[in-house]
Structure formats: C-alpha cells, structure tokens
C-alpha cells in the first residue's frame, strides 16, 4: 500500500507489534506523520531512544489512554489511518480484573469508532486475536466485542470511514509468548508445560506487520481478515528449545484453550478462502456478499469448515522451529517458513 504523505496513528504503539510496525513505516514509506499513542511513559522513553527526534522528525509520541474519548478526539485531528493495537491482553490479569479489561478493550474500541467517525478518518484497522473466536476467557470475549463494534461501525452511513479487523495467532518472540518463556526456563533444567496435547498457531512479527499492511490495501470495511499461518505443538517447541530438560506438566490455566481457533463452523458460511488468508464477511445489511468474490480468486468455504491450530494442514518441522527459535535468541533476522499457495480446506471435528 502507498502510505506516502499519510498521517497514521498507532494506538498501543509501544508494544511489540507497534515497535515493528512503526519501524517499517519509517524505513519503507514516506508518511507525513506517524503518531504513537500509548499510556506507558517508560515504554515511550525507550522507544524514543530507538527513534531519536533528530533522525525521525515524522514520529510523534503522545501519552494517553483509549479510555479517554476526548484525548482520542484531539489525537485523531488530521489522521488518515488508524491501526488500533491497544489492549489489555494478559489472560490471567483479565480474569482477575474483568472491568479493567472491559474498559480498555470494549469501551476503548467504542471510543476509537466515535473519534474516527467524528474526525472523518479514512481507514481503521483493529488487531484481533484467535481468542476472540468462540471465546472461553474474558480477554477473548472483550476482543470479540471490540471486533463487533468495529465491524458494525461501517453501517453508520455518516462518513466514508472504513473499519476492518485482522486476526492472527501467537506472535513469536513478543512479550509473554511461549518461546522466550521456555528459553528463560532452560537454565533450570525443567520446562513447565500446561498440557501435552496443546497446539498453537505461530506468526512472526514481520509477517504480522506484512499482513496488516496488505489488509490496509485491500480492505473495503467490515471484513475480518484471518492470516494463514503454521501450527506447532507446545511439547514440540519445548523439545526443540531444550531437549535436555525435563518437561513438567502443570495443568491448563484458567481461561486457556487446548487448541486455538480463528474461524469457527458458525462463521464458515460467511468465509472466503484465498491463497494466503481468509476473509470472514459480516452478515450486516450494509455488506454486499459479492464484494470479495467478484474480481478476486477466493472460494467460499464449506459449512463444516473450521480453522483451528489442531486441524491445520500446515505444521512446522523441528528444523523450522529451531530456525524460528534462533531468530528469537539472537534478535536478528526473520525466519519465514514456506507458505502453501493452493487453497486447502481444513474440515473438521
């Protein structure tokens, strides 16, 4: 997508995704402004050390919270594109502090919608999660609500603002993800695993940024874009990272799933498959079901289709996991496993 001359706001811009996304914008595009909006002054200070004012005059950083609607109205003045990445996403913390997660993830999303419509923003894309599909924990439930708010905002008819969602699985190497957790435990001689059957989707930071940029380019408003990414078992990750360590199974945590799901059978009838991603279309009256079929190479999914980490047809080999772990350990490079190019349905049970 051509972002030259655009004014781009990234909420939660000091997080793992935000740091990578902003770096890409500044290195590969020529935006008018890139605005980082977040509430943590320490993370903003640390990020500014990476992008000093003298070298990156187009980067602006503002403190604030998506819970504060008036602050969002001010920050969105003149903004063309919003990438909404701000969220409370630690599952145990959300379970213990439910109202705080609701205020940030749901009320914050509603504030984003109101401010974007008021300021006549061109495009808003929200970052979702696999946990929003058939949620079993509060974090997933709040993100489902957030997704619904952004999708429904397309039906206001007030302005031409487009709202869409991107959904993907665990970002490798991000704060709180499993690979850094296992690497930190390796010296103890024991890796703690919740359940031996557990599987996870895995995506790299680079690919998550690629996906958001691609979706900004093709979005019409109302879609949930779901990236095709590989799966791995958690025991496979542990064995590759520390084959010499004992694996201790400690039981599944509150609100945790054995397998991750990004598209459920209930969404299948509204889902279109493409070579590299899926599109879940909304059922709202403003949406034309032909929008993503005419002129595109997609095919409708069968009604019993389900896209989950245990039914995936794309699995990482031990060698690919090892290469992935090295990028986390060194902090350099970007391992991207080969991507299947032919549409394949994952049907199932």
Positions marked active-site: 131
Continuous segment of H or E residues that includes residue 182: helix 178-185
Is 136 in contact with 257 (CB distance < 8 Å)?
yes
What Rg, from alpha-carbon coordinates, does the chain have?
A: 20
Tell how far CA 331 is from the center of its chain. Answer: 20
CA separation for the pair 188, 195 (Å, rounded) = 20
CA separation for the pair 255, 264 (Å, rounded) = 18
Is 131 in contact with 92 (CB distance < 8 Å)?
no
Tell how far CA 308 is from the center of its chain. Answer: 16
Q: Which of 58, 54, 53, 48 is nearest to 25 (CA)?
A: 58
């Amino acid at each position: 997508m051509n972002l030259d001359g655009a004014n781009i706001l990234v909420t939660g811009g000091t997080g793992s995704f935000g740091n990578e996304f902003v770096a890409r914008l500044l290195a590969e595009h020529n935006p008018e402004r890139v605005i980082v909006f977040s509430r943590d002054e320490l993370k903003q200070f640390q990020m500014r050390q990476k992008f000093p004012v003298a070298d990156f005059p187009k980067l602006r950083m503002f403190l604030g919270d998506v819970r504060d609607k008036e602050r969002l109205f001010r920050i969105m003045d003149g903004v063309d594109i919003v990438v909404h990445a701000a969220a409370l996403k630690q599952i145990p913390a959300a379970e213990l502090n439910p109202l705080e997660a609701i205020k940030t993830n749901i009320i914050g999303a509603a504030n984003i919608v109101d401010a974007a419509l008021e300021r006549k923003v061109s495009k808003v894309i929200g970052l979702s999660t696999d946990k929003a599909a058939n949620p079993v924990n509060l974090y997933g439930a709040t993100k489902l609500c957030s997704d619904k708010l952004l999708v429904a905002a397309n039906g206001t008819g007030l302005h031409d603002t487009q709202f869409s969602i991107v959904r993907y699985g665990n970002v490798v190497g991000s704060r709180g993800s499993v690979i850094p957790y296992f690497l930190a435990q390796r010296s103890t001689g024991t890796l703690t695993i919740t359940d031996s059957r557990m599987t996870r989707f895995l995506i790299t930071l680079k690919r998550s940024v690629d996906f958001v940029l691609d979706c900004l380019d093709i979005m019409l408003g109302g879609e949930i874009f779901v990236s095709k990414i590989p799966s791995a078992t958690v025991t496979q990750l542990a064995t590759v990272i520390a084959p010499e360590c004992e694996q201790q199974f400690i039981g599944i945590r509150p609100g945790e799933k054995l397998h991750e799901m990004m598209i459920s059978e209930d969404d299948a009838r509204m889902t279109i498959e493409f070579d590299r991603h899926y599109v879940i279309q909304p059922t709202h009256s403003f949406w034309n079901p032909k929008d993503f079929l005419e002129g595109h190479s997609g095919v409708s999914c069968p009604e019993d289709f389900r896209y989950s980490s245990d039914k995936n047809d794309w699995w990482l080999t031990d060698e690919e996991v090892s290469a992935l772990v090295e990028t986390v350990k060194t902090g350099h490079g970007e391992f991207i496993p080969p991507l299947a190019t032919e549409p394949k349905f994952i049907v199932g049970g």
